[in-house]
Amino acid sequence: MDSKQNIQFHHALKFREDICIGCSHCMNICPTEAIRVQHGKAQLHANWCVDCGECYRVCPVGAIIVEQDDFDDIYKFTTRVALIPTVFTGQFPDSVGTCEILEAVRTLGFTHVFEVEEGVEFLNERFKEYFTAHKTVKPLISPFCPAIVRLIQVKFPTLAGNIILLKAPVDITALHTRKILAGQGFDPAETGIFYVTPCAAKIVAVKSPVGEIKSVIDGVINMNYLYNKVFKILRQKKDKTGNHPYAALSGKSVCWSLTHGEADHMDQGRSLAIDEINNVMEFLEKVENEEIDGIDFLELRACDESCAGGILCPGNRFITADKLRKRAARCGANPAQTSCEEEKVTRTINLSPEQITIEKINPRSIMKLDDNVAEAMIKMKRIYELNRVLPQVDCGICGSPTCKSLSEDVVQDQATIKQCIFVQKILEQNEKLDMQESVRIMQSIWSENKLDKNSLKDEINEIN
């Protein structure tokens, strides 16, 4: 692995054991099987998690939180820049204009506000150049969604070399903004750039970027948090005008973060857009197995409706996407055709190839069985044999999401085969396991509280 790339994943998703009830919802939904239940609490295999946020969506008690920067961190800088994705503007009612939203953000303490998608037109041209230079690599995969980049690293390592080695629009806009502000006399050391994120994966992309040592962005702000602050300002504000110059965006730029935002503008070969992480996994399995060919470009997004469906977006993803497409229609292909005067400011991006490229993205094995190849083969055979005798019910009662994952955990000495409830019953029938030991095994997974027969008896009697 390249020494410049991070050895450990940073994670924005955090599990609060004091709140977790060990319901297993998160374990069952995790696409990379990164979660187990032990002692009645969800436990995370850190290097398997891609921060897609599916666990966050399904947790019924709010035990999974998103770790983020404190908003007051912006005041560490004299020049404070907010980078706002267009999907943020799509959270608000149709009656609220883009410029009103951006102006409200600025009044929260920022000296400058820019939309992330300013970098899209520049990036789109660089994509075309990249296609020409990498004609033999198919399909080329967009690096836009950081959850997908990590997913490929850990689940589809043979496709890591297909990821386009160019920065995302947010990084390009951040680089250009720093360059422009420095040219205007603002001290680079006193300039802080903060990105308003719709998801946990993009927080991770800032804190632990793949393919580069350090992000050009200084901090990340939870979109849901900022939405509430801005919405309050807009409700109280009587004067709907603003005097801050906001850059014009083309229709292409406005919809870049939505499903088909990239694929519809790749005019070199056949392009497909796939959203929602399970759909992506199903498709990548076919690509990796060479069941699908003839695809030149893949736009892959972890969330349904792409960034409009991010876990930190407060609004309905379908309404958000619809609003952005309407805005794009008003803009058209010409950025000058925008709907408000303040937007008619053009910022031409001029960055060198070295500034916008990232290093080779290395695969990261989701389960390294052993450093010794011979020993790893022995373990692989044992996993196969264990999985073959298990019931293939995937009930999750063992504390692992599937029978196969339990087999892997057993071989890696992270579980025992007796954790399978079916194995327990067979051993009990053959008088090789007594009931008390069976109870102790279940208590080690689900905690004593869930197997407290006296407490359960009282609860049942009270219900009846």
Map out the domains of the chain as residue ranges.
Answer: 13-66, 71-356, 373-448
pLDDT at res. 247: 73
Instruction: Give residue 371's pLDDT band: very low, low, confident or very high (50, 70, 90).
Output: confident
- Average pLDDT score over residue span 339-355: 68
Instruction: Give residue 10's pLDDT band: very low, low, confident or very high (50, 70, 90).
Output: confident
pTM: 0.89
DSSP-derived secondary structure for 328-385:
HHHHTT-GGG-SSGGG-B-------HHHHB-PPPPP--S----SSHHHHHHHHHHHHH
| Mean pLDDT over the full length of the chain | 89
Cα–Cα dist 202/310, whole Å: 10
Of 20-34, 102-116, 319-333, 340-354, where does mean pLDDT reach its minimum? Answer: 340-354
Instruction: Give residue 365's pLDDT band: very low, low, confident or very high (50, 70, 90).
Output: low
Task: Give the residue with greater pLDDT, 453 vs 352.
Answer: 352
Q: pLDDT at residue 346 above 50?
A: yes
Three-state secondary structure along 285-329?
A: HHHHCCCCCCCCEEEEECCCCHHHHCCCCCCCHHHHHHHHHHHHH
Q: pLDDT at residue 338 above 50?
A: no
Task: Give the residue with greater pLDDT, 95 vs 336.
Answer: 95
pLDDT more than 70, % of the chain: 90
Instruction: Give residue 55's pLDDT band: very low, low, confident or very high (50, 70, 90).
Output: very high
Instruction: Give residue 324's pLDDT band: very low, low, confident or very high (50, 70, 90).
Output: very high
Instruction: Give residue 6's pLDDT band: very low, low, confident or very high (50, 70, 90).
Output: very low
Q: Which residue from 150, 301, 310, 346 is spatially nearest to 220, judged by alpha carbons?
A: 310
Cα–Cα dist 385/59, whole Å: 34
**Is 247 in contact with 343 (CB distance < 8 Å)?**
yes
Q: pLDDT at residue 269 above 60?
A: yes
Instruction: Give residue 119's pLDDT band: very low, low, confident or very high (50, 70, 90).
Output: very high
pLDDT at res. 337: 42
Q: Which residue from 30, 23, 64 is spatially nearest to 50, judged by alpha carbons?
A: 30
pLDDT at res. 241: 56
Q: pLDDT at residue 364 above 50?
A: yes
User: pLDDT per residue over 169-227, tens digit each?
Assistant: 999 999 999 999 999 999 999 999 999 999 999 999 999 999 888 999 999 999 999 99
The position carrying tokens 């736009």 is 299
Of 63-67, 102-106, 364-368, 455-459, where does mean pLDDT reach its minimum? Answer: 455-459
Close Cβ partners of 458 (under 8 Å, ≥ 6 residues apart): none
Residue 108 φ then ψ, to 5°: -75, -10
Q: pLDDT at residue 276 above 80?
A: yes
- Average pLDDT score over residue span 130-154: 94
Of 109-113, 244-248, 422-426, where does mean pLDDT reach its minimum? Answer: 244-248
**Is 280 in contact with 300 (CB distance < 8 Å)?**
yes
Q: pLDDT at residue 372 above 80?
A: yes
Beta-bridge mates of residue 83: 114, 195
Instruction: Give residue 239's pLDDT band: very low, low, confident or very high (50, 70, 90).
Output: low
Q: pLDDT at residue 340 above 50?
A: no
pLDDT more than 90, % of the chain: 74
Task: Give the residue with greater pLDDT, 450 vs 324.
Answer: 324
pLDDT at res. 368: 73
pLDDT at res. 1: 34
pLDDT at res. 120: 94
Which fold does the domain 13-66 belong to in CATH? Alpha-Beta Plaits (3.30.70)
- Average pLDDT score over residue span 114-133: 93
- Average pLDDT score over residue span 153-159: 93
- Average pLDDT score over residue span 342-361: 80
Instruction: Give residue 366's pLDDT band: very low, low, confident or very high (50, 70, 90).
Output: low
pLDDT at res. 3: 38
Tokens of 110: 């920022």
